[in-house]
Structure 1
Amino acid sequence: MPLHILSVDYQNPIHRTALVMLLDAYAQDPMGGGEPLAQDVKARLCDDLAARTDAASFIAWLDAAPVGLVNCIEGYSTFKARPLMNIHDIAVLPEHRGAGVGQALLAAAERHAQARGCCKLTLEVLTGNTRALKSYLGFGFEPYALDPAAGQASFMQKWL
């Protein structure tokens, strides 16, 4: 059976289990931080996503097995006065990397963003994640810069 991408129904027990399993596998990967998700996060994640009107997730299935995940959160571009779609998480199980799963998930996120009238897709990637960087560049992403003379944007965080 070929690879197929399904929109996650956050109330569907099969989808819920697959989403948490895939995100936990990503969290445990060195590029995801190397630590498993906390039990309380696993317990509430799908309900929290379901309560949001700005969240969408897609799972890549190969036969009946979940092999990849993309979580998208809608934001807003004040410079364009239009919504934007941030790819908050994208993960492919290690044994399925390099087989087009990530590209299929990016395409699903792009279709969803277009359907929502978004002006762009955004994502963050670690500079050491060269395989993902190559995939994103191949899909048409480019480093964010308003003016090359000002340099590229840096993604920063402050825990609250």
Structure 2
Amino acid sequence: MTLRITTPDHPSDLDREAVLAPLRAYNVSHAGDPRIRPVAILLTDEAGNRVGGLWGRCGYDWLFVELLAVPEEHRGGGYGRALMHQAETIARSNGCVGIWLDTYEFQARGFYEKLGFEIFGTLDDHPVGQKHFFLRKRLPQA
């Protein structure tokens, strides 16, 4: 059977799954079950509206923080630190050895470094003239 390459104008969830399925099968065959678990830690206002928080996933013994957002008017109030502290608690309870994430030069590198994260990679010119940082924090093992 011959394969051909196509590029959909509006990629769908089905398109993503077509790519993910063989990759997932390969990874599981070589590294075992990743035990992927989504993680959501939300900030809610007095009315119960979700206004920010942390989104990530545990997998292959690490918690990846994909998104962290605190509304601008609440920055500096300790919410980001509290979200990350809760993420560490969740990571430990899931047997993770560490947490990793990425951030742009114009975002929160210093914030994460104050929490004990260290840079393990940098992508220059993403966007052009800026840097994109990859950070990790190994969790102390009990």
TM-score bracket for this pair, using the shorter chain length: 0.5 to 0.7
Q: Return the alpha-carbon distance in structure 1 between the equivalents of residues 42 and 106 of structure 2.
A: 25
Q: 1:5-154 maps to which residues of 2 (within 5 A)?
A: 53-63=36-46, 64-76=48-60, 83-129=61-107, 132-144=108-120, 153-154=121-122
Q: Which amino acid aligns with 1:141?
A: F
Q: Which runs of 5+ in 2 are unaligned?
A: 1-11, 14-34, 125-142
- How far did residue 72 of structure 1 move? 1.3
Identical aligned residues as a percent? 29
For structure 1, the residue ranges without an aligned partner over 5 or more in a row are 1-39, 42-51, 77-82, 145-152
Cα contact 1:55–1:74 (8 A) shared by 2: yes
Work out the CA distance in 2 between the residues paired with 1:134 and 1:62. Answer: 27
Q: Secondary structure at the match of 1:143?
A: strand
Please identify which structure carries the higher strand content. 2
The answer on whether the counterparts of 2:64 and 2:101 sit within 8 Å (CA) in structure 1 is yes
AA aligned to 1:154 is: T
CA RMSD of aligned residues (A): 2.6
Corresponding residue SS for 2:87: helix
In the TM superposition, what is the alpha-carbon distance from 1:155 to its structure 2 partner? Answer: 5.5
Richer in helix (by share):
1
TM-score by length of 1: 0.50
Deviation at 1:59, TM superposition (A): 0.3
Q: CA separation in 2, counterparts of 1:138 and 1:72?
A: 20
C-alpha change, 1:55 and 1:141, in structure 2 (3 Å) is same
1:54 is displaced (CA, Å) by 1.8
Contact preservation (8 Å) 1:67, 1:96: no
Structure 1: which amino acid aligns with 2:122? S
1:128 to partner: Cα distance: 2.0
Q: Structure 1, residues 90-136: CA drift from partner, whole Å, max 9, x if none?
A: 0111111111111111111110000000000000000122xx12211
